[in-house]
Structure 1
Amino acid sequence: MRMRWLLPVTAVCAAITLSTGIAAAEETAQETINRLQSEGYTVNIDRTGTLPMSQCVVTNVRNPNTVKQWVPYVGPGTDERVLVQQTVSQSISVSLDCNRSINGTR
């Protein structure tokens, strides 16, 4: 019975990973944050260190959360009320390491 759950859970985790677009190696921390914001996410940042953002490295992207609600829709082609899901908010967490510069010096 447990094997039946393993495949769907793995598929869901893979879908979340792909949809959040984990930070690519060629992206700076700011580019990663900007991309996630352009995808509609409110980005929650936690960081260690005091270096400027330009010298930070993304260490983790996690906890994608989407809140949806059902709203009525009455429009062309329908005479009855139909409920559709609407995204109310999306948030995601990004962890940054700002302890050392990208080139390895402090």
Structure 2
Amino acid sequence: MRRTAMFAAAAAALAVLAGPAGSAWAEESAQQLIERLQRQGYSVQIDKIGTGPLSKCVVTSVRNPHTVTEWVPFVGPGLGRFEGNLLVPVVTSQTISVSLDCSQR
């Protein structure tokens, strides 16, 4: 029972660490993964081992998703009694790190 609980906790932690990329990055090329993350609004930081071309690289990890939000006043119709007092979160930047192995082993 204790071992099962520890396994479940470890699996949950890994799912959280995978973040927005999930496990799909294992099935995508490095270029496809980077483009998908950029379409999702991320600024992708790349670190790689080796000097091979991106087309020959293998994704080894996706980590450190970081989203910066800012609270700004809501501007729009339908505020009623909240006029000028309603703040909403707005994403100002998103970054994520992708590690690549381009050593062409």
CA spacing shift, 1:75–1:12, aligned 2, 3 Å: farther
**TM superposition shift of 1:87:** 0.2
Question: Which of these residues, 82, 89, 102, is aligned with residue 93 of structure 2?
Answer: 89
Task: Give the aligned CA root-mean-square deviation in angstroms.
Answer: 2.6
Report the TM-score when normalising by structure 1.
Answer: 0.77
Could you say if the C-alpha distance between residues 45 and 22 of structure 1 is closer, same or farther in structure 2, counting changes exceeding 3 Å?
Answer: farther
Superposed CA deviations along residues 8-50 of structure 1, whole A, max 9, x for unmatched, are 9x75763452533344333100000000001110000000101
Q: TM-score, normalised by structure 2?
A: 0.77
- Identical aligned pairs, as a percentage? 54
Instruction: Check 1:11–1:78 CA distance in 2 against 1; reply closer, same or farther (3 A cut).
Output: farther
2:3 aligned residue? none
Q: Aligned partner of 2:58: which letter?
A: V
Change (3 A) 1:15 1:84: same
Aligned residues: 96
**Greater share of residues in helix:** 2
- Rounded to whole Å, the distance in 1 between the matches of 2:20 and 2:50 is 29
| Conservation of the 8 A alpha-carbon contact between 2:70 and 2:92 | yes
Q: For structure 2, which runs of at least 5 residues remain unmatched after alignment?
A: 1-5
The unaligned stretches of length 5 or more in structure 1 are 1-5
Conserved? CA contact 2:57–2:101, under 8 Å: yes
CA distance in structure 1 between the aligned counterparts of 2:15 and 2:64, rounded to whole angstroms: 13
